Copies of this chain bind each other. A is one copy, B any other.
Amino acid sequence: MTKTLDQTDRRILTILQQDARLSADALAERVGASRSSIQRRLKRLNETGVIAKEVAQIDPEQVDDQMTFVVEVELERERVDLLDEFKRSMMALDEVQQCYYVTGQADFVLIVLAKDMKDYDRLTRQVFVENPNIRRFATSVVVDRVKASLRVPITD
């Protein structure tokens, strides 16, 4: 909880967000510390959950022709139990890459992946249209995935 992340920690995190395959030696050189120091820090950063996980980023176009959609969802009533139920259903759907509960006219903003429009249509019918708790949803089709990361800016 009490995260005293010093400058070295922050530099490590900045680097690992771009490339998690770097060895402790390479990191040591870049941030100006010894390898053992780096490894102790890495262990701590992993154990405390600052580094949540390391994942491979896949090029969507090379796997299947995947389309991306931005979806705004407005619920009928904002009851806590219904909100939670909606959140849980979004968590469970592989096609929903991201889900944000937001202020403003919409209640949720989603990033959704699907193979094609037909596939997307099938998904929305299943998840939104047949859900009486959803007042409306608006879809934007992503033409260009200009930038897509989960990178957190870290000032050191």
Contacts and interface: CB of A to CB of B under 8 A. Distances in A.
Given A97-B149, A99-B147, A58 B52 contact: yes
A147 B52 contact: no
B103 A143 contact: yes
Interface of A: 1-3, 5, 10, 13, 16-21, 48-60, 62-64, 66, 68, 70, 87, 90-91, 94-104, 106, 108-109, 111, 113, 138-155
26 contacts: A1-B62, A2-B62, A5-B63, A16-B56, A17-B56, A19-B53, A19-B54, A49-B62, A51-B57, A52-B56, A52-B57, A52-B58, A54-B56, A54-B57, A55-B150, A57-B150, A66-B153, A97-B150, A100-B146, A101-B142, A101-B143, A101-B146, A102-B143, A104-B139, A104-B140, A149-B150
